[in-house]
Amino acid sequence: MSDIDYLLWWQNVREMTGHRFDVVAWHLSDIGNWFESFFVPAVVYWAVDRRTGVFCNLARNMALVFTQFLKTSICAYRPWVRDVRIVPIKDALLSATGFSFPSGHTVNVTGVFGGLAMCWKNTAFRCFAVFLIVLIGVSRNFLGVHTPQDVLGGFAVAIFALLLMRRIALDLERHPEREARYLWGGVAAGAALLVFSLFREPVIRDTMPKIDSFKIVIDDYRCVGCWLGSLAGWHLERRFVRFETTGVRLVRRILRGGLGALVMLVVVFPVFYWIERRLGKHWGGAAGMFVVQMYIMLVWPWVMKRFSLFNSWESEKEV
């Protein structure tokens, strides 16, 4: 069975079930979308465990850098471009941006929940994380927006990034003086992706007439902004804020995570779209994502450290 035959089999399942599960699969799949995938590591970082949140967020963003290098290098057509018999669910097409290999949604969910599973040594949670990752991967096939190899490629990229980030984290624990080396190495990787995308777009435009080259590299710019924003926020928070999640009572943890997520939803995300409209999909997308990640990694932690409302009495004494 070819990859297209496999997707046609899932398409037949959708039709035989009267499309009853389409909406469920779409909402499940979108846990791995850009903004949806920001909430879990952000809330963990703010309210549960600072180190785990940092690890998951940086590892996922690193995986996205690798993903966009691969997408823009390999230039794999989406399934419905390869074969007109593939008819994806219309709602799923809104977030099916960029090239096909590897699956960005799979990278996002594996980076986040795989990272949590690596940090939290709880068998029940690890089983849940693996189940969710596999389920969302399969949902991308069910929706008709990714082939099996796209999903497997997404798994592989995210796992590689998680292992690499764990090695970096362990090395920084032993040698904190190497922080600048890793920081500037990360900046160089983001800059390399940006330069690569700038040179790659005209090649795609000239050699792939089925593809809108401008739209296809939008995610490259967003990814660069996301990665650089998370690096800058991580570094600045470590130097100037240094908030803690230990010694914080449950009610205030809920306030930290809930209010931080609400502000991100109703203020920060609209700011992203405003920036994108003002500066354009490429540079505006990069700048907007930079702002979103700075809010997650630096701004909201500063707010929590600054105002005693978010801290337990023990934490207030330390401040």
Kindly give, in sequence order, each residue whose CB lies less than 8 Å from that of residue 20, ignoring residues fewer than 6 positions away.
Answer: none
Report pLDDT digits (tens) over 151-196. Answer: 999 999 999 999 999 999 999 999 999 999 999 999 999 999 999 9
Within a 10 A sphere around the Cβ of 297, how many other Cβ atoms? 26
* Nearest alpha-carbon partner for 309 in 251, 244, 245: 251
pLDDT of 319 over the 80 cut: no
Residue 313 amino acid letter: W
Predicted local confidence at residue 313, as pLDDT:
46
pTM to 2 decimal places: 0.93
Go through 102-119 and write b for each residue having 16 or more CB atoms within 10 A of its CB, e for each that does not.
bbbbbbbbbbbbbbbbbb
* 86 Ramachandran zone, left/alpha/beta (phi>0; psi -120 to 50): beta
Alpha carbons 84 and 86: distance in angstroms, whole number: 5
Answer whether 285's CB lies under 8 Å from 225's CB: yes
User: Where does the pLDDT of residue 98 fall: very low under 50, low under 70, confident under 90, or very high at 90 and above?
Assistant: confident
pLDDT of 97 over the 90 cut: no
Report pLDDT digits (tens) over 243-275. Answer: 999 989 999 999 999 999 999 999 999 999 999
User: Where does the pLDDT of residue 96 fall: very low under 50, low under 70, confident under 90, or very high at 90 and above?
Assistant: confident
pLDDT of 316 over the 60 cut: no
The residues spanned by each domain of the chain are: 3-10+18-310
Predicted local confidence at residue 310, as pLDDT:
75
Report pLDDT digits (tens) over 99-148. Answer: 999 999 999 999 999 999 999 989 999 999 999 999 999 999 999 999 99
Answer whether 100's CB lies under 8 Å from 77's CB: yes
What burial class does residue 41 get, using C-beta atoms within 10 Å of its C-beta: 0-12 exposed, 13-18 middle, 19+ buried?
buried
Alpha-helical regions (H) of the chain: 3-16, 22-29, 36-43, 50-74, 79-82, 90-93, 104-119, 123-142, 148-174, 179-207, 213-216, 218-236, 250-263, 269-279, 283-294, 300-306, 313-318
Predicted local confidence at residue 314, as pLDDT:
46
* Nearest alpha-carbon partner for 67 in 103, 26, 121, 115: 103
Residue 129 amino acid letter: A
Alpha carbons 289 and 65: distance in angstroms, whole number: 13
